[in-house]
Amino acid sequence: MNTYLVSVIENVKKKYAHEPEFVQTVEEVFTSLEPVIDKHPEYEKVDLLGRMVEPERMFTFRVCWEDDQGQWHTNTGWRCQFNGALGPYKGGIRFQANVYPGIIKFLGFEQIFKNSLTGLPIGGGKGGADFDPAGKSEAEIMRFCQAYMQALYRYIGPDIDVPAGDMGVGGREIGYLFGEYRRLKGAWENGVLTGKGFASGGSRIRPEATGFGAVYYLENVLRHEGEEIAGKTIACAGFGNVTWGICRKARELGAKVVTLSGPDGYIYDADGVVTDEKIAYLVEMRASGRNRVQDYADRFGVPFYPGEKPWGVKADVMMPSAMQNDVHMESARRIAANHVKYYIEVANMPTTNDALKFLMEQPGMIVAPSKAVNAGGVATSALEMAQNSERLVWTAEEVDRQLHQIMDTIYQMSVEAAREYGLGYNLVAGANIAGFKRVAEAMMEQGVF
């Protein structure tokens, strides 16, 4: 192993032992980079890797909000401006009770390389709060978003840092965040946030972009194997925006999603989540704030497996699309035993590092990494920024065409990067290397700071 690379990883492990998700992603990304670091001894002198694992800056702030009974609550908010070498910091905001700096930093670190892969001018950032949106009223959500923006607005801007949604933050929350930013700044700077509603300057296709992009990526993988998407069964996790987009695009192309999951368990729909009614119901379930997938089983009369994950089902394609570390070693063994050929990560870091390594070693199994597969979401956010700065609105066809092209390019760049470094058909290493190269080049050009 390259001694410089090892020393940076060891340092992160020691220094950030209290942020295990961040340590996990640094280890995963940097381990893939060995042949690149071997080839570039000049990186050590300027401590390029040591600089990459330190955010350029990170804010922590208090967020106070009043509930419907007049009781006040205090939460913590964060925004990590991780790496701005390629453009304004860009990345979502996550509202979830378990959010802490280790989650924000793992997401921010992934975002640097993902954003680089899109080929668009966006740096990496991420934010969030340890606020649990489940069961909150509409008015409480609005007040929380307003309070969050009151703390954040002075640190962001269309050329500085452009937040978007992530878990717990969808179009509704972005609307409230944008409204408060506009009120505070007294200016129509709609390029400050992406994922806005269409009337507020949002882009066509942004809501479905992550799911559509994931399916476009999957099509590339299938083509490489001489297979077609039509007729394939897909096991998904989650039932949010991303899964909704996958269901729609899969149906359009003749495939079907057969599982959905939530914190309460998973459902198996042998006919597939393919009718308009079923697909629309996903949006309803998410908007209800109940965070339960059993509602789908009750409504459509399909089996529900309480407390279980869908990784033991037989399907052609697995697309973990819910959250980090959803697939552990035990699930990975079941996936391998079922001879699943395509393991396509969608959520950010859905697989533990040992499970990912195990799956990549399975003969005949193809593993694709989330930072490439889900990059269509942020890529379309960058297209939203472009439309906002041009004061123009592109058609859905135009945005979809560009999204499709970006996903094809990400796939090809990943394949070529792995091949260039003698790693064969390795989509995981290829994505890490291709993403890293562009950031490294920009950082080298801009001098040490």
How is residue 309 written in tokens?
A: 């994950």
- Among positions 25, 351, 352, 381, the unique one binding ligand 2IT when judged by CB under 6 A: 381
190/381 with CB nearer ligand 2IT: 381
Which residues, other chains included, contact 136 with Cβ-Cβ below 8 Å and sequence gap of 6+?
144, 289
How is residue 326 written in tokens?
A: 């959803």
If 0-12 CB within 10 Å is exposed, 13-18 middle and 19+ buried, where does residue 345 land? buried
Q: Contact region for ligand 2IT (CB under 6 A) — 85-93, 139-147, 177-185, 280-288? A: 85-93
Q: How far is the CB of 227 from ligand 2IT (least distance, A)?
A: 28
Q: Say if CB 65 and CB 75 are below 8 A apart.
A: yes
107/142 with CB nearer ligand 2IT: 107
Question: From CA 58, how far away is CA 79, in angstroms rounded?
Answer: 6
Query: Which H or E run includes 43?
Result: helix 42-45
If 0-12 CB within 10 Å is exposed, 13-18 middle and 19+ buried, where does residue 270 land? exposed
**Which has the closest alpha carbon to 428: 352, 354, 381, 373?**
373
Residue 352 interacts with ligand 2IT (CB under 6 A): yes or no: no
- Among positions 33, 152, 164, 302, the unique one binding ligand 2IT when judged by CB under 6 A: 164
114/251 with CB nearer ligand 2IT: 114
Q: How far is the CB of 439 from ligand 2IT (least distance, A)?
A: 16
Residue 90 interacts with ligand 2IT (CB under 6 A): yes or no: yes
36/164 with CB nearer ligand 2IT: 164
Residue 378 interacts with ligand 2IT (CB under 6 A): yes or no: yes
Binding track over 185-224 against ligand 2IT, x by CB under 6 A? ---------x------------------------------
Give me the residue whose beta carbon is nearest to ligand 2IT. Answer: 92
Distances (CA, A) of 262 to 106, 280, 333: 22, 17, 21
Q: How far is the CB of 111 from ligand 2IT (least distance, A)?
A: 6
**Which has the closest alpha carbon to 63: 143, 134, 120?**
143
243/374 with CB nearer ligand 2IT: 374
Beta bridge partners of 351: 327
Question: From CA 329, how far away is CA 145, in angstroms rounded?
Answer: 37
The catalytic residue among 90, 105, 114, 126 is: 126
Residue 126 is a catalytic residue = yes
Residues near ligand 2IT (CB under 6 A) are: 90-92, 164, 166, 194, 348, 374, 377-378, 381
- Catalytic residue numbers read 126
